[in-house]
């Protein structure tokens, strides 16, 4: 396998940049530039030279096979982060025999292939790199730690034992499977089924933390929705006007509330109209508002809207600055009531995001759903006389679904897509 290298830190000027080398010739290639390597896993300062010219002073770290991120021999060069310095060191490495520039995600792919990470950890790593909020960071770190993979391995171990017990009784296929076997298998399958069902129950919350919650601001025309959106965003994201029907399309603003990723939606004012363009905007507003995780209703008085608040939705009186009684009112113009609104949005979203599972990707959810379906079938068959082979086959299907989940089998067609999303140095 080729020895690869790449800039592992962000591009652009920096105090320190990191270049990573991984593969069989990593030590030789690094030594060609810095002379001698420090002892593995001990840092040492070395001059980097190529063709008699000093390139830079670098902090060098070497890792033996089995002790690096990729599982291969690896070297990291921590150099000064000027563009010319980075370019010179990369050019010198490209001239070393047997080395080539890494492809996108190739370091992480080698970590998977060498058993350093499972596929769920790779997906957690990708999410950690992309994390924008504290909740996303915590969730990604939990998955990167291998928690979901360890659970899947525990479930798989129980299923493999259950399958082996059943297959040992195939000779009894015309008779009842021994009671002691039936009881042990039933208990094991039930435990795994319940654990997977519990993990799936929190998948929706985990997915929303990863993708973000949608909060729609809903109300009649000229009630102050766009002004409120601008106040929450801290900038003029939506055009405001006294002319009713100014907002024709859904305007989206991405922000963070209580550590959670949130997309605020400013929707068209809801009213009866003959204007066909405005009518299409209202129809679109109703669709997006119904699909949103939470709706904030701004009401001027007791007007009736074509959308009824649900139990978890928030209802605020509009234009608090123009009211004598200001309890439960908010004003985007003056900021009055904004703190209460944000606090109530945060409280509602924290309820929606409570008890998230470790299932952060649709691929993972589908894998567990397949395993759950197989287990349900196996449990319905386990006590049926002569059905040992059918039961074992259902258990085998559940086991395979878990193996696909952690990337042990059947995911080759997914890997190119997954790793193409990584940067070159990861």
Residue positions in the annotated binding site for Mg(2+)? 226, 247
Long-range contacts of 186-190 (CB under 8 A, 24+ apart): 186/379, 186/382, 186/383, 188/158, 188/159, 188/161, 188/162, 189/158, 189/159, 189/162, 189/375, 189/378, 189/379, 189/382, 189/395, 190/379
Kindly tell me the burial class for residue 85, based on how many C-beta atoms sit within 10 Å of its own C-beta (0-12, 13-18, 19 or more): middle
Pairing label, strands 260-266, 251-257: antiparallel
Which residue positions form the known binding site for GTP?
Answer: 222-227, 241-247, 266-269
Angle formed at CA 144 by CA 6 and CA 15, multiple of 5 degrees: 40
Angle formed at CA 383 by CA 379 and CA 387, multiple of 5 degrees: 90
Which residue positions form the known binding site for K(+)?
Answer: 222, 241, 243, 246
Which residue positions form the known binding site?
Answer: 20, 76, 116, 222-227, 241-247, 266-269, 426
Which residue positions form the known binding site for (6S)-5-formyl-5,6,7,8-tetrahydrofolate?
Answer: 20, 76, 116, 426
Burial string for 147-160 (b: 16+ CB within 10 Å, else e) reads ebbebbeebbebbe
Separation between Cα atoms, residue 386 and residue 175, nearest integer Å: 6
Q: Which residues lie closer than 8 Å to 51 by C-beta, 6 or more apart?
A: none
Strand runs labelled E in 42-169: 44-50, 53-63, 74-81, 99-101
Cross-strand bridge partners of residue 315: 297
From residue 91, how far is each of 7, 95, 202 by CA, in Å?
12, 7, 48
Nearest CA to 279 out of 288, 289, 292, 269 is that of 269
Taken in order 155, 161, 162, 164, the sign of the CA dihedral is: positive
Separation between Cα atoms, residue 156 and residue 207, nearest integer Å: 24
């Amino acid at each position: 396998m080729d020895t690869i290298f790449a800039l592992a830190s962000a591009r652009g000027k920096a105090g320190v940049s990191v270049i990573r080398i991984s593969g069989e010739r990593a030590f030789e290639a690094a030594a060609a530039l810095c002379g001698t390597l420090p002892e593995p896993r001990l840092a040492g300062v070395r001059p980097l030279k190529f063709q008699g010219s000093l390139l830079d002073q670098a902090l060098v770290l070497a890792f033996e096979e089995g002790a690096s991120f990729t599982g291969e021999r690896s070297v990291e060069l921590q150099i000064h982060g000027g563009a010319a310095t980075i370019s010179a060191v990369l050019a010198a490495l490209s001239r070393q025999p047997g080395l080539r520039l890494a492809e996108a995600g190739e370091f992480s792919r080698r970590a998977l292939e060498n058993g350093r990470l499972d596929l769920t950890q790779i997906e957690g790593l990708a999410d950690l790199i992309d994390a924008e909020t504290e909740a996303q960071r915590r969730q990604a770190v939990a998955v990167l730690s291998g928690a979901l993979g360890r659970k899947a391995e525990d479930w798989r171990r129980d299923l493999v034992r259950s399958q082996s017990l059943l297959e040992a009784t195939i000779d009894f296929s015309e008779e009842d499977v021994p009671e002691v076997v039936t009881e042990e298998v039933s208990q094991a399958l039930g435990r795994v089924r319940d654990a997977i069902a519990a993990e799936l129950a929190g998948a929706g919350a985990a997915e929303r933390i990863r993708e973000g919650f949608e909060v729609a601001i809903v109300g009649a025309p000229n009630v102050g929705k766009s002004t409120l959106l601008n106040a929450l965003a801290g900038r003029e994201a939506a055009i405001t006007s006294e002319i009713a029907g100014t907002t024709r399309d859904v305007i989206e603003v991405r922000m963070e509330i209580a550590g959670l990723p949130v997309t605020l939606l400013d929707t068209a004012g809801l009213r009866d109209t003959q204007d066909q363009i405005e009518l299409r905007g209202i129809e679109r507003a109703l669709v997006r508002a119904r699909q949103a995780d939470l709706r904030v209703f701004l009401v001027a008085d007791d007007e009736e809207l074509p959308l009824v608040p649900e139990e978890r939705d928030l209802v605020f009186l509009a234009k608090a600055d123009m009211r004598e009684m200001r309890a439960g009112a908010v004003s985007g113009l003056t900021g009055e009531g904004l703190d209460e609104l944000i606090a109530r949005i945060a409280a509602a979203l924290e309820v929606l995001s409570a008890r998230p599972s470790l299932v952060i990707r649709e691929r993972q959810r589908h894998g567990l759903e397949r395993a759950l379906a197989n287990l349900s079938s196996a449990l319905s068959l386990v006590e049926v006389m002569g059905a040992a082979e059918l039961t074992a086959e259902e258990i085998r299907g559940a086991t395979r679904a878990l193996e696909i989940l952690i990337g042990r089998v059947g995911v080759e067609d997914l890997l190119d897509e997954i790793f193409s999303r990584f940067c070159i140095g990861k």
